[in-house]
Amino acid sequence: MVRDGYFYGIALLAVAVFLRFVAGGWVWSIVPLLLAVFFLWFFRDPERPIPQGEGLVVSPADGKVTDVLRVTTPDGESLRLSIFLNVFDVHVNRSPVSGLLREVRYQKGEFLNALKPISAERNEQNLAVIQADEGYVVSFK
């Protein structure tokens, strides 16, 4: 479980219990209880089996691949693979390769619909750059 899930889940459970005693029944507690369950579920972090072997690149997130294309960045030409996470997907990103984290860069930005291609450049994001054990460099947002 991601820490944010505990914060929201426990806070909403406390609100539900408070409303139960103040309002004199569970009717007023239903909405905060449902929200607590949603947040505890949304921020889940299940174990994932990770295949082992040299040169493997695994998906860093659950979701649907929406785009695969070559792009030119300030660091040169690269391959961009976009993954859309809907509300039912696990919202945890993992490293796609084993290696050494070389850089993390925060980019302030907008909150455009993630299905629009322009969102990859304009949305708020973190860029992580990893030098894989085999020597190649992988960056992901």
pLDDT of residue 112: 92
pLDDT of residue 66: 83
The DSSP secondary structure of 95-132, one letter per residue, reads -SS-EEEEEEEEE--B---TTSTTHHHHB-EEEEEEEE
pLDDT of residue 121: 83
The domains of the chain are located at 3-42, 64-140
Paired strand residues for 103: 129
Structure tokens at 140: 């992901």
CB atoms within 10 A of CB 36: 21
pLDDT of residue 33: 95
pLDDT per residue rounded down to tens, the chain (141 residues):
788 889 999 999 999 999 999 988 888 899 999 999 998 998 899 998 888 888 888 888 899 888 888 888 777 787 888 888 888 899 888 888 888 998 899 999 999 988 787 888 899 998 888 888 888 787 877
